[in-house]
């Protein structure tokens, strides 16, 4: 399951960094971001689960995999809270800043 989750998460995450998608297809960008966050959560959980048997299952490797799984989950939680802040702004058209609600109307 870990590999099945890695491939779509990696492909969809690359779309998040394309400026045209970010500014012109804002709804797609947002939905894609939520899907990527869900896949990254599943990726972290499955990585922690398979760490018991992967690479020989050494305790140090299990701790290493668990640590990075927790770091990924925390970074996704931070991303989620920053996305949903009311003062989140998107830089569009150079130095002009617009709120998310205004950029949807554009």
Q: Which domain holds residue 87?
A: 2-105
Measure the CA–CA gap between 67 and 52, rounded to whole angstroms: 14
Measure the CA–CA gap between 106 and 87, rounded to whole angstroms: 18
Taking the model in full, what pTM does it have? 0.70
How does pLDDT run across 43-74, given as a tens digit for each residue? 998 888 888 887 677 888 888 888 998 999 99
Count of domains for the chain: 1
Residue 20 burial class via C-beta count within 10 angstroms: exposed 0-12, middle 13-18, buried 19 and up: exposed
Two tokens, residue 5 = 């989750």
Residue with tokens 């140090």: 60
How does pLDDT run across 62-105, given as a tens digit for each residue? 888 889 989 999 998 888 887 776 444 555 445 445 455 444 54
For residue 56, give the H/E element and its range: none
């Amino acid at each position: 399951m870990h590999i099945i989750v890695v491939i779509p998460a990696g492909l969809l995450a690359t779309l998040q960094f394309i400026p045209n998608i970010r500014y012109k297809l804002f709804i797609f960008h947002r939905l894609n971001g939520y899907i990527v966050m869900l896949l990254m959560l599943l990726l972290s959980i499955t990585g922690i689960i398979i760490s018991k048997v992967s690479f020989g299952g050494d305790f140090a490797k299990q701790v290493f995999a668990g640590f990075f799984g927790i770091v990924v989950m925390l970074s996704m939680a931070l991303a989620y809270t920053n996305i949903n802040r009311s003062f989140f702004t998107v830089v569009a058209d150079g130095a002009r800043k617009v709120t998310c609600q205004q950029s949807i109307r554009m």
